[in-house]
Amino acid sequence: MWYDPFKSIIRRDEPLAMHTWFQAGGMAEFYAQPETQTQAAELVAAASEADIPIRLLGEGSNVLIRNDGVSGLVISLDSPEFQKIVIEGNCIKAGAAARLGRVVTTAVHAGLAGLEDFIGVPGSVGGALHVHVAANMTKVSRCLRSTTEMDFQGNTFAKSAEELATTYQDKSLNSLIILEATFELEPDDPKTLAQQMQKRWILKKSQQPMSFQCCGRIFKSPTGASAGELIDRAGLKGARIGGAVISERHANYIIAEPECSSEDIIRLIDLVRDQVHKRTDVLLDLELEIW
């Protein structure tokens, strides 16, 4: 079988709920955690050769797994090789599986400014770049200098800031694995930066569900409006289907209570989209990915 050489890093029928923030949903047919870049290259090449669909999973903060699960191969890069964070002059280089929050605090403590807006945003560097995360009107690509990526045939290549600007426009990041990213930052006083970061962190925490709650952010904010405010205006704070509830703290988040199923969340998403459309004439676009 195509997966025979990877038996030490691959699992069949892996429950994905525990790998996502919603903690709901079914299994991955194959789940692998490569330990090195070479192993990752050999794995994706073998899976592609066997026509096995490939998906990358970061911290699972923007993904909802359907009850039926995912066919094909789900890859997590959550191994030490892909979690490294290194300061090089004014730059910070981070592996795809490094937590975005840890990259921010490392930069701030080293007196490097530019990433503080992203404190409190969950997820990995790979996920943040793929989704093109934004916080406080700042996009994660703003300070991005280069990336190292891999295609599904296992070829690795570097991308410059100019190439990345085009990539972000045509969304071609979809069929690529982000392995590493380098951000170019500005020297600043670490104490002042730490204070600014702390203020943002407190604000961010107050605008999202409590950290012990299983949850997900659902819709993109349409131009000139806030998805949370539109949902709130439609009177949907606290709306519930089964174990899925619209957060009272911020209406663009769904909380998954214990026993919540992915189907509950999907039905609540449909209800919110429908009600907001009826009451405000705005059709909300999903930010969350449903696998």
Q: Which residues bind ligand FAD (CB under 6 A)?
A: 21, 55-63, 77, 96, 121-124, 126-128, 130-131, 133-135, 177-178, 208, 215-217, 289
What is the spatial distance between Cα 78 and Cα 58, in angstroms, rounded to a whole number? 8
Q: Comparing C-alpha atoms, which of 39, 55, 190 is closest to residue 109?
A: 190
What angle do the packed helices 100-109 and 190-206 form, to 10 degrees? Answer: 150
What is the spatial distance between Cα 115 and Cα 183, in angstroms, rounded to a whole number? 9
Q: Which is nearer to ligand FAD, 23 or 106 (CB)?
A: 23
Q: Which is nearer to ligand FAD, 153 or 191 (CB)?
A: 153
Q: Which is nearer to ligand FAD, 19 or 273 (CB)?
A: 19
What is the spatial distance between Cα 84 and Cα 94, in angstroms, rounded to a whole number? 6
In whole angstroms, the minimum distance from the beta carbon of 90 to ligand FAD comes to: 24
Q: Which is nearer to ligand FAD, 54 or 190 (CB)?
A: 54
In whole angstroms, the minimum distance from the beta carbon of 257 to ligand FAD comes to: 15
In whole angstroms, the minimum distance from the beta carbon of 189 to ligand FAD comes to: 25
What is the spatial distance between Cα 229 and Cα 216, in angstroms, rounded to a whole number? 16
Q: Which is nearer to ligand FAD, 57 or 113 (CB)?
A: 57
In whole angstroms, the minimum distance from the beta carbon of 142 to ligand FAD comes to: 13
In whole angstroms, the minimum distance from the beta carbon of 126 to ligand FAD comes to: 2
Cβ-defined contacts of 245-249 (< 8 Å, 24+): 246/272, 247/208, 247/209, 247/213, 247/215, 249/206, 249/207, 249/208, 249/209, 249/210
